[in-house]
A and B are shown apart, each in its own frame.
Chain A
Amino acid sequence: MLSHPFMDYAFVAGSLIALATGLVGYFVVLRGQVFTGDALGHVAFTGSLAALALGVDLRIGLFVSCILVGVVMGALGRRGLADDVVIGNVFAWILGLGVLFLTFYATSRGGSNGTASVQVLFGSIYGLSRAQAAVAAGIAGGTIVALLAIARPLLFASLDEAVAAARGVPVRLLGLGFLALVGLTAGEATQAVGALLLLGLVAAPAGAAQRLTDRPWQAMWLSAVLSVLSMWVGLTLSYAVSDLPPSFSILAVATACYALSWAWTAPGRRAVRAPAA
């Protein structure tokens, strides 16, 4: 399997991307910002198509739009957490813009490339070239380092914002910086599993990890491990069964992890909760 260069690139880039989404995803779920991640996925679509329509590198549009909108949403909302309804309105409109760019792109290229939007929306991890995989892995590595650097104060601010603020933690700045990292991760994950599916890599491993353990650092690393595992098993599955698109098999494994974590913890939790109720 690893003798094919495209599989090598997919594994190298995919592992680092999955590691980044697992780590970032833990905080996204902890802070209840999954909807923001959802919105950034749609921004990624519009950004990519805008770049295509303008004729520049797709990834420039992807990263610029994701980071920019992430920070703007954080700045608009109170305390660096954006309001559901505001997010909904903004990204519904951004999606409308995406449709416009799609039309521009289709007409300017003579309508020959009908699959561009499908690739952006659902990813094409096997289509990564050597250089693309290297850049993707490098950015994912940078994201991981940046996240680990702010992880301690970020965890404090996420668990108890008021106390963290009183202790002098720059809560607002952290929230904005974190959203910029989420934007970066969204851009990365779009290349692997696509704009519409990146939410699964962010939410499912982290949700499973949070069900399996209450200890923050353990949960964070568990989320990262589950995410990377989903990527590896998913890539292998789609290699073995050629009908399975890689994006589907990766997401299916991640979802299965999450479903299993519910099954695993359900009886124990109920027993704990019953006397309290």
Chain B
Amino acid sequence: MNEELDSQLSAMFDDELAPGECELMARRLSRDEQLKARWGRYAVVGAVIRAERGVRLNAPLAGRVSAVLLAEPALTAQSVPSIPQRAGLRWWQPVAATALAAGVAAVCVMWLHAQAPGYGASLTAQLSAAPIRSDTPVIPASVALSAGQPDSYTVPRTPKTLPGVVPSTELANYVVAHSMFSPPVARRNLLSAFMTSEPAPGGAEEPQGNVKKTTGP
């Protein structure tokens, strides 16, 4: 591996590489096994060691490394055609250490997606949510209603978000229904975001089931 490439990889690890170069590096990572292995040593192993020592990683890098680890069950879940009733459990299963290679591949995907500022921020938030475990626990709903004492909490895994996705008709329904219960500013932001999301490919979405559908007002 040449010195320049090694330097770029190091800069990427330190979150000091320009976004455009990051994207190129991410693409190269996806097809260069040697580079991939080196990134694995830099990022994944290093992150795990730091995490085990209780060292808090700084910068969006922490979120992206975390995303590699956390995205793995999601990728697995999507490849399984038959899901048990409690499908969400797959998201909560421990990540096996042997998933490292696939995780490195996933980091390339995350790099590309993370170019959207909002998405990067959310990834950062995921990892840094971990330290709040002890002092801001999640409260059982029944207790919360009576303002009682909180219980312990395990930080949820990072969901596989789809930034900028056009809401399906179903999601549009949920967004509109929810907006009626949001504070005014949040409601305006939510509806504005819905209005300005990427145009949908194709035409009308065919509704499913027994729906009330007409061709005019």
Q: A and B, one complex?
A: no
A interface residues (Cβ-Cβ under 8 A, vs B)? none
B interface residues (Cβ-Cβ under 8 A, vs A)? none
